[in-house]
């Protein structure tokens, strides 16, 4: 079984519940070790400056504190590990310009659609990742 460390940069509790539900649905494919940060300051002070590695990063853009989760040093962690999950198409386009290949438009009016797309993308990601095996 693959063991995946997942950094989730999201401040909306409803969206987090959808993400965790989706991870739970995929537990037969992988065991997840999630870290959730809800402010851009946490990203700046705890993640960008630390020597941490993640197998997957779910990256929203807006932070309720007025900053942006896009402060994340994407290049440091690897663009292929990032999935953009903003509700604003332009914000997802911004990280595509930085090299991120996968984004999922988060529609608050239809979070079931977001959940479905997230499930599909995570399933593909898990199938293709070469995650280290914990022994």
Class of domain 2-128: alpha beta
Quick one: which H or E segment has residue 113?
A: helix 111-128
Average pLDDT, the chain: 91
Domain boundaries along the sequence of the chain: 2-128
On the question of pLDDT at 135 being above 70, the answer is: no
pLDDT at 131: 46
- 84 versus 130: the higher-pLDDT residue is 84
Residue 84 is given by DSSP the state E
Report, as an integer, the average pLDDT of 78-87. 94
DSSP state of 37: E
Q: Rounded to two decimals, what is the model's pTM?
A: 0.91
**Predicted pLDDT of residue 132:** 52
Question: How many CB atoms are located within 10 Å of the residue 113 CB?
Answer: 13
Which residue has tokens 């063991």?
Answer: 3
- Would the pLDDT of 105 be above 90? yes
d(CA 3, CA 134): 7
């Amino acid at each position: 079984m693959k063991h995946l460390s997942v950094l989730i940069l999201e401040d909306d509790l409803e969206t987090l519940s959808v993400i965790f539900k989706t991870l739970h649905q995929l537990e037969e494919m992988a065991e997840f070790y999630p870290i959730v940060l809800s402010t851009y300051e946490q990203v700046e002070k705890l993640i960008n400056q630390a020597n941490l590695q993640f197998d997957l990063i779910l990256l929203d853009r807006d932070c309720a504190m007025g900053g942006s989760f896009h402060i994340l040093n994407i290049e440091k962690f690897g663009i292929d590990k990032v999935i953009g999950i903003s509700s604003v198409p332009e914000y997802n386009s911004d990280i595509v310009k930085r090299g991120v290949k996968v984004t999922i438009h988060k529609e608050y009016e239809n979070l079931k659609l977001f959940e479905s797309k997230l499930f599909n993308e995570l399933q593909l990601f898990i199938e293709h990742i070469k995650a280290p095996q914990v022994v």
